Each structure stands twice: as structure tokens, then as C-alpha cells.
């Protein structure tokens, strides 16, 4: 992702972050699809951690920690990146939210729930990290892209240079199983206008917008208009989960 995509319209005194592809950001119009896709998951989790003490590991820019703090009793956002940490600390100021700069592997404080969003695929030894999650919290919410819909067919992983490994739904459950007594996989899917867009593509929309030469003006409007409500989260059998965009594991120690 080009470095020139930088956050727009930040509050006074808050340094904007550049989009590098390592993490998603709000306030970058071209990134809005991915940002809202992540927000949908954070909002789903927030409803289930009301009144709890939560740590948001690898919190990045901090928007997810702020979403969780709207419902949780206390949230700590943890990230090792100095620019992301400073940005989050300055931008998201809530009485029940604080940020720590640290490696996720170094977190050792027991909490009610751990949130680890779209980061397990960046980890060299995910098993060791998951074992630590099971020791520190009765619940862990761990999301990752679905390899079957992110990577080219038959490939072991996508071309994202930040991803060490990716999993299909059965592979992901097998990764989690040694560490958690109970697991439920929730799929993330397109809904509302994104579902209509999917159907339009199947009907030939890609050929039509190119032929009409309206590709850029259409998507310059469409992408910034995407909302978190244009994604849906639901459990399902393996066959359905194989079509999911992302996989959210709800884990109990």
C-alpha cells in the first residue's frame, strides 16, 4: 500500500499515521472498506464484553480499543509500534481506556477477556501466544482472515508481506483446539450494499463500469460510503464458513 495514503482531518495535536499495509486505519478514504470490516468485528465483540476488564492486544491506531471501551468496564490497548502508540494515546481519551507500548508476548496481567484482531497471522509462533491467552483470561476473541477467500485458489497464503501464515476454517480450529476447551467460529460476510455489489459483479458489473468509463468516479463514492453495517457476523457449518471473509474465534479456556 503506498505510503502517501495518510490519515485526514486528525484532531489538533494528534500526528496522522501513514497507511503501510501492516494495519488498517480510519480517516483514509481508500482504506474505508477494510477499516469498516474490522469495525464490524469490534462492535460485535463490544456487545459481549460489557462491564468486563479487557485487553486489546496489537491495538494499532487505537480505534478498536475505543469501540470496546464504549461497553467494557476497563480497556487497555497494547501495541509495540511507537508511532501507533503515541497516536492512540493522544487521540482516544476515555476515563476507562489507556494505552501501553509493549510487545503482545509480554502482556502478563489477568483480565476478563483478550481481544486479538487480525494479528495472529503475523505471529511466527501462534501456539505459544494462544497458550498464554488461555492462562490469562477466561475468554479470548481472536480474528484472522480466511485463507480460502483471501489467497489465490490453492495458494498457502496471500501475497500480503506482513502475514506469516493463514488458515482455512478447519485449520484455524485445529490451531486453537490445544489451548481452549470450547471454541466457536464466527464468519464475517458482506451484507446490505456490499452483498448487492457482490451480486452485481456476478451479473457483469465489472465489464459494465469499465465499458462506461465510470470505474473511478463510482468507486470514489462507493468505498467511502461503506459502513460497518455492510458486514454481517454469524456462526455456521464448515461449508458456510469456507465462504467467510474473516474468521472470529470465540474461545473459552
pLDDT, tens digit, 9 for 90 and up, residues 171-184: 999 999 999 999 99
193-233 pLDDT per residue, tens: 999 999 999 999 999 999 999 999 999 999 999 999 999 99
Give pLDDT, residue 21: 85
Q: Residue 7: CB partners within 8 Å, gap ≥ 6? A: 16, 17, 18, 19, 25, 26, 27, 28
Q: Is residue 126 part of a domain?
A: yes
Which of residues 2 and 18 earns the better pLDDT score?
18
Mean pLDDT for the stretch of residues 50-62: 98
Specify if 109 maps to a domain: yes
With 70 as the cut, is the pLDDT of residue 1 above it?
no
* Mean pLDDT of the chain, nearest integer: 96
Taking the mean position of all CA atoms in its chain, how far away is CA 214? 30
Is residue 213 included in any domain, yes or no? no
Residue 200 falls inside a structural domain: no
The pLDDT value given to residue 71: 98
The parent domain of residue 83 ranges over 29-190+231-252
Q: With respect to residue 223, please indicate whether it lies within any of the assigned structural domains.
A: no
What is this structure's pTM? 0.95
Number of domains in the chain: 1
211: cell is: 465499458
pLDDT greater than 70 at residue 161? yes
140, part of any domain:
yes
175 assigned to some structural domain: yes
Q: Does residue 24 lie in a domain region?
A: no
Taking 50 as the threshold, does the pLDDT of residue 145 lie above it?
yes
> What per-residue confidence (pLDDT) applies to 4?
64
2 has a pLDDT exceeding 80? no
The full 3-state SS of the chain, as one line of letters, equals CCCCCECCCCCCCCCCCECCCCCCCCCCHHHHHHHHHHHHHHHHHHCCCCCCEEEEECCCCCHHHHHHHCCCCEEEEEECCHHHHHHHHHHCCCCCEEEEECCHHHCCCCCCEEEEECCHHHCCCHHHHHHHHHHHCCEEEEEEEEHHHHCCCCCCCCCCCCCCCCECHHHHHHHHCCCCCEEEEEEEEECHHHHHHHHHHHCCHHHHHHHHCCHHHHHHHHHHHCCHHHEEEEECCHHHHCCCCEEEEEEEC
- pLDDT given for residue 3 in this prediction: 47
As a whole-number percent, the residues of the chain with pLDDT over 70 amount to 98
Per-residue model confidence as pLDDT tens digits over 30-53: 999 999 999 999 999 999 999 999
For the domain that residue 55 is a member of, what is the CATH number? 3.40.50.150
Amino acid at each position: 500500500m503506498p505510503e502517501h495514503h495518510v490519515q485526514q482531518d486528525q484532531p489538533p495535536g494528534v500526528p496522522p499515521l501513514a497507511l503501510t499495509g501492516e494495519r488498517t486505519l480510519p480517516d483514509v478514504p481508500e482504506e474505508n472498506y477494510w477499516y469498516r470490516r474490522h469495525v464490524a468485528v469490534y462492535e460485535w465483540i463490544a456487545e459481549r464484553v460489557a462491564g468486563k476488564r479487557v485487553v486489546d492486544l496489537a491495538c494499532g491506531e487505537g480505534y478498536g480499543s475505543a469501540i470496546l471501551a464504549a461497553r467494557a468496564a476497563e480497556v487497555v490497548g497494547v501495541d509495540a509500534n511507537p508511532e501507533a502508540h503515541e497516536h492512540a494515546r493522544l487521540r482516544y481519551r476515555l476515563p476507562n481506556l489507556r494505552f501501553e507500548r509493549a510487545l503482545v508476548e509480554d502482556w502478563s496481567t489477568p483480565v476478563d477477556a483478550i481481544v486479538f484482531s487480525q494479528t495472529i497471522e503475523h505471529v511466527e509462533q501462534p501456539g505459544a501466544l494462544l497458550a498464554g491467552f488461555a492462562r490469562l483470561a477466561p475468554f479470548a476473541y481472536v480474528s484472522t482472515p480466511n485463507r480460502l477467500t483471501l489467497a489465490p485458489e490453492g495458494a498457502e497464503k496471500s501475497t500480503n508481506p506482513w502475514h506469516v501464515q493463514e488458515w482455512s476454517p478447519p485449520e484455524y480450529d485445529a490451531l486453537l483446539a490445544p489451548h481452549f476447551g470450547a471454541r466457536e467460529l464466527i464468519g464475517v460476510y458482506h451484507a446490505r450494499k456490499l452483498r448487492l455489489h457482490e451480486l452485481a459483479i456476478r451479473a457483469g458489473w465489472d465489464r459494465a463500469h469499465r465499458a462506461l468509463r465510470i470505474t473511478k468516479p463510482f468507486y470514489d463514492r462507493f468505498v467511502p460510503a461503506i459502513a460497518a453495517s455492510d458486514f454481517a457476523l454469524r456462526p455456521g457449518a464448515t461449508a458456510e464458513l469456507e465462504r467467510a471473509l474473516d474468521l472470529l474465534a470465540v474461545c473459552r479456556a
